Amino acid sequence: MAERSTAAEEKRRVILDAAARVFARKGFHTSRVGDIAEEAGVAHGLLYHYFASKDEVLETIFREHWSSLLERIHAVESSSGSVEERLRGIASVMFEGWRREPDVVRVVVREITRSSEVEERVGELVKPIGAIRRIIERGQEEGVFRRDLDADMSAIVFYGAIDELITGWVLGRLPGDDDAVAAAEHHIVAVVTSGLAAGGQRGKALRADVSA
C-alpha cells in the first residue's frame, strides 16, 4: 500500500510539474488538458484520475506553492536572528522561489496575481506583508528601527519592491539571472533597513552597506 501511495504521489507530481511548464509556456487559457498529459507523458484520462479539471490543476499549483512559501516565511519570522537578518531572510525566501521554480512563479504571477479573480485570494496574498510588519514592529520595540515610521506602510514598501522585481523577471522587463537576483536581494534589504534604522543604527547600517 505504501509503495502504491508513493507511486501515485510521484505521478501526481509529474502532472503538476508538467502543467506548470505548459501554463508558463502557453498560458493557462490557451492550454488544453491534452497538452498537460502529453508534456507529462501520461494518458489523457489518467490526468482526470488526479484532478477534476484544468482549473483544479491551476488551483493546486498555486495552493502548494503559496503554502510552502508561507511556511518558509513563518520559519524566518520565528527564527532567533536579528530583525535585519529576518528581513533579509524573507527577501531570500521569496527570491528563492524564482530561482528554484521559475515556471511555477510565472504561472502564479500571470494567472493568479494578475487575474480578474485576484480579489478572492487577497487574504492569502497579503500574508507575507503581515510577517514583515511584525518583524518591523519588533525592531521598533527593540529600538533598532525608527518608531516614527508606520510599520504597515514600511512592510508594504518592502514587499512591494520584492513583488515588482519578481513581476519584472516574469514579464521579461528585467534580467532575472542569479547575479541579478542576488543584487536585488542586497539592494532591497539595504535600502529598507537603512531607511528604518534608528539614530546611530542608521550610520552603522550605511557603513555596513558600503562595505558589503
pLDDT mean for each 10 residues of the chain (212 residues): 72 95 95 95 91 93 94 96 95 94 94 73 88 97 96 96 94 89 93 88 47 48
Cell 494567472: give the residue.
Answer: 111
**For the domain 1-51, what is the CATH code?**
1.10.10.60
In the prediction, which pLDDT does 20 show? 97
152 CB burial (10 A radius; 0-12, 13-18, 19+): middle
First to last CA, the chain: 53
Residue 161 grid coordinates: 519592491
Q: Which of 77, 90, 82, 93 is nearest to 158 (CA)?
A: 90
In the prediction, which pLDDT does 195 show? 94
In the prediction, which pLDDT does 125 show? 87
In the prediction, which pLDDT does 119 show? 67
For domain 61-211, give the fold: Tetracycline Repressor; domain 2 (1.10.357)
In the prediction, which pLDDT does 117 show? 65
CA 193/CA 67 separation, integer angstroms: 27
CATH 1.10.357.10-classified regions of the chain: 61-211
In the prediction, which pLDDT does 206 show? 43
Using CA atoms, how far residue 107 sits from 58, 134, 203, in Å, is 8, 29, 41
In the prediction, which pLDDT does 208 show? 47
